[in-house]
């Protein structure tokens, strides 16, 4: 009886952990893609990037939140679509505010 319970618990742990590992791996990959896009294609100095954090949400399912040193109160959101990194949106600021990284 103990073997059956242990097998069921083990299979349950696998069923729970596989999706979590997949999501975390996908987010890490997307974070790296966005960082490289900002550095190589947007010519942004890596030192000005404060944080790059993957976000699991609604649509799009995976996105990355980026904060820059010169705009610490603005969050920019990026995602990958058809092999390209796209800007989704940024946090809203008052009318007339000029975003530095759009």
pLDDT tens for each residue of 7-21: 899 999 999 999 889
Cβ–Cβ under 8 Å, residues 67 and 55: no
pLDDT of res. 97: 87
pLDDT of res. 36: 95
Q: Taking the CA of residue 9 as centre, how many other CA atoms within 13 Å lie in the half-sphere pointing to its CB?
A: 6
Residue 59 has pLDDT above 80, yes or no: no
Of 60, 67, 54, nearest to 26 by C-alpha is 54
> pTM of the predicted model, to two decimals?
0.82
Per-residue confidence at 1, pLDDT binned at 50, 70, 90? low
Residue 22 has pLDDT above 80, yes or no: yes
Task: Report DSSP state, residue 98.
Answer: -
Residue 30 has pLDDT above 80, yes or no: yes
Residue 94 has pLDDT above 90, yes or no: no
pLDDT, the chain, mean: 90
pLDDT of res. 51: 96
């Amino acid at each position: 009886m103990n073997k059956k319970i242990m097998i069921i618990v083990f299979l349950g742990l696998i069923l729970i952990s596989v999706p979590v590992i997949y999501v975390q791996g996908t987010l890490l990959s997307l974070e790296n893609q966005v960082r490289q896009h900002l550095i190589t294609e947007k010519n942004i100095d890596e030192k000005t990037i404060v944080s790059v954090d993957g976000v699991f949400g609604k649509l799009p399912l995976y996105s990355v939140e980026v904060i820059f040193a010169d705009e610490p109160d603005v969050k920019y959101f990026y995602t990958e679509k058809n092999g390209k990194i796209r800007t989704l949106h940024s946090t809203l600021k008052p009318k007339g505010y000029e975003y530095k990284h759009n």
